[in-house]
Amino acid sequence: MSLYTASVPVFRHYLARAQEMAEGHPEALEARIADSFPAGQHFATAAGFALRVACPLAGREMPDLPRALSPRLAVVRATLGAMRPEEFIGAETRRIQHRAGFAELDQGAEEFLYLYGLPNFFFHMTMGYAALRGAGVPLGKADFDGFHAYPADFHF
């Protein structure tokens, strides 16, 4: 599987889910779990991670991003939508130098995507979702992934 296929369509799909959850429940975007960021900030961070990962893989510079969630999601989704598989040809040979918190890392592209980028993206997506759920927003697995379907009274 190409690094484009493993990243850009995944980010686009789940950021569409984040946008739908955020727009459907704006009153709960300040909800948080314990000492974590608010839900809206987790979704914004996930959006930023999508480009922090996809841009170096595509050989692109990271664009400046708005701080507010809705404009940030719009810029990130448009940037991802403009990326083409051809930009990722040879990406697997790239080395990515970046920061993870206070750590300076140098990773091969596949390690960067699979062991750092995707897990961090999904961490922030999941934390945003969990904060909304914790605030009583009636979300389910289908809201998160867009695939599952359950009866209205079904709960895990």
CATH for 3-145 is 1.20.120.450
Distance CA 33, CA 53 (A): 26
134-146 pLDDT, tens digit per residue, is: 999 999 899 999 9
60-100 pLDDT, tens digit per residue, is: 999 999 999 999 999 999 999 999 999 999 999 999 999 99
Determine the pLDDT at residue 152: 80
Is the pTM of the predicted complex or chain greater than 0.85?
yes
Q: Which tokens belong to 24?
A: 């459907």
Among candidate residues 114, 59, 66, the one with its CA nearest the CA of residue 91: 59
Domain boundaries in the chain? 3-145
104-114 pLDDT, tens digit per residue, is: 999 999 999 99
Distance CA 50, CA 11 (A): 6
Determine the pLDDT at residue 155: 75
Bridge partners, residue 103, by sequence: 100
